Structure 1
């Protein structure tokens, strides 16, 4: 009987466990989770904090007891993992106990990024990554007395936090060191259009403003300015949780390769036999660059976990990778970014009442696209861009062209981005 270990139990860990169980009904699957909570979607934390979702709504796969029973898992939530001994394919628990396995999956996800200097200002701050973060913010808002708030970080999460505070009547300032909103997903022109709409709503936006400290009175900027606030929320970004394998250099044998995340191949295998990684803790293939990168998407984590589980159980599986893909709804607006907005090329745009589409083409082929106000056509465009990067047909099919036209795009623009 084969023994499997899954360290971390989010989206990637769940899909890996399910794939293993489908292929190996009798194998032992040990799941190590330091929370004991069922897998939850981090992008739903703002919905819970704003009371749009009840607690059960953030657990898309159901309760832990139900998952444990259906997949016949051995769950260890009271035994913290100290490190993964990759040389001996074993796990060291906090008490010093060592347990060996045939295959180990690292699925520890990512944590909210908090730069060191911001921890030393003496002020309290909130994060928005885990369920505990959402519960803490929700409790604070229920206490009342929050009149002014600063959200640090013009990210997809940051704008959602700003929205939930705004809708509670809080005066909100969003500050970011970047030159404009969503810098990893949006073109500057699209970002400025969104910013104008937000400012019309009364949101205060400050860019090129590096926050140097969180103080008991608010935040201090690098240029000496202060922003007073009753509440500060940091939404700067995330970092991959790689600590469990980052210390393997002291052991004999080959080290697990780590860059911004744990580096894996298309089978979700690390460079050490028997050690796998999936989800936000690892770097998978970015289809546009051919290099590995952390692509923090819920669907990406699920596909990586499924692929890892199948390979762990002995069935060959290859996950081809993904592209940068961001979609968010905020202040009654929709924004979708497909592909890397920083790649070069010729820009073309289409504007219709209620929405804007901008695209970058290289040698007549779609490289990236921004949609502001029309999420319905995003699936067609992502499918087209992904297929092209995988070596498929570079032209939009007649059916796709018809759907894009029905979605409001002109025939001339459709031809420009890949139609006949």
Structure 2
């Protein structure tokens, strides 16, 4: 006999969790089920490098426990992958052959690490808890570790690997964090990374891999060295297979409107799989950050409950700490800005760069060093505030005040 639920959620991370909380806050006794391929409560992927590096315990990764789902009366189908979707019949097929019927469906399936063409012991990605468990074992006793890719997986992993370990970073671009921060901030970060002993191989890639006990790497530019562990962190790909196979509109991710509704009226999408409108540019994009996933999860839940609520666009908002340096990026930080203002104090290491449009409204900001003012800049972008102004003066720290001087 088929199982039926008023609302079915596929995905057990930021968007799915927020949708559950919102449904129970506003939805009374509607029946809800959650499906996820991993057989564990929701956990933080951002913290996995800290666990791998021995800086926190495994149990600290979990955001909620099994009691969370029981308390919210959620039927959990954990450890079950969704392999088929029939929008007309409102049915989802699981890998074990179970069919689940739904009234409304939320696809919060996230993204998957880009495929690893290299298959060998000591080579891994870092996307799921099982990846973290494997890397944690591999890192023990390692004398040298290498990561490929210059983004928010490879660099945090190397940062937590330990200063007593030889660390190599292989990147195809000419700068670190090339998809995260602007070139000016990237140069500052690279200088800090090199000072910790990190070896950076720019405009390069893995050309050949040999060895059994240790990996013998040959780079495209000819350099050779041995390493105990190779992490491949070349970005992620949205998990859009279910949507594509059933004819939902998909570009890079699943296309959603401002209500987080897909091209089918009873199917919604949120988080790293959803292609929604960017607040600053108005263009469709996948932000890939926790805050956006939470916002979209809530909006999707409200609309599934019949409580109309529109999103005014998502915002790039990434904060991390690597090699002892705090980094934050808010809003649009690209070459299309009308003008930029920046300030860098080499004594403190703090750097601020603000991106402005033709009306001097704040489009975005990059912060290196103390990032407590990230919320201030986020609010400036959201309110389309002109920079400088009274609001900045009231909320700014020393560095934002310095930017005011540059702007005046």
Distance (whole Å) between structure 1 residues aligned to residue 370 and residue 168 of structure 2: 27
> How far is 1:219 from its partner?
3.4
Asked if residue 93 in structure 1 is aligned to residue 88 in structure 2, the reply is no
Matched with 1:161 is: 157
The alignment's TM-score, normalised by the length of structure 1, stands at 0.88
> How far is 1:396 from its partner?
5.6
> How far is 1:54 from its partner?
2.0
Distance (whole Å) between structure 2 residues aligned to residue 323 and residue 18 of structure 1: 22
Matched with 1:81 is: 82
List aligned pairs for 1:194-343, cutoff 5 A: 194-216=189-211, 217-248=215-246, 255-343=247-335
Matched with 1:251 is: none
> How far is 1:402 from its partner?
2.9
Matched with 1:51 is: 54
Whether the 8 Å contact between 1:287 and 1:322 is mirrored in structure 2 is yes
> How far is 1:114 from its partner?
2.5
Change (3 A) 1:273 1:13: same
Q: What secondary structure, in the 3-state scheme, does the structure 2 residue paired with 1:260 have?
A: coil
Matched with 1:252 is: none
Structure 1: any 5+ residue segments left out of the alignment?
249-254
Matched with 2:343 is: 350
Change (3 A) 1:90 1:207: same
> How far is 1:18 from its partner?
1.8
Match of 1:39 among 42, 49, 66: 42
Change (3 A) 1:194 1:266: same
Change (3 A) 1:308 1:215: farther
Match of 2:178 among 173, 176, 183: 183
Whether the 8 Å contact between 2:86 and 2:92 is mirrored in structure 1 is yes
Q: What secondary structure, in the 3-state scheme, does the structure 2 residue paired with 1:156 have?
A: coil
Match of 2:368 among 372, 376, 397: 372
Matched with 1:63 is: 65
> How far is 1:151 from its partner?
0.9
Structure 2: any 5+ residue segments left out of the alignment?
none
Matched with 1:414 is: 404
Change (3 A) 1:292 1:214: farther
Change (3 A) 1:24 1:327: closer
Q: Which has the higher helix share?
A: 1
CA deviation digits over 1:276-330, x for unaligned, max 9?
A: 1111111122112212111111121111111111111111111222222222112
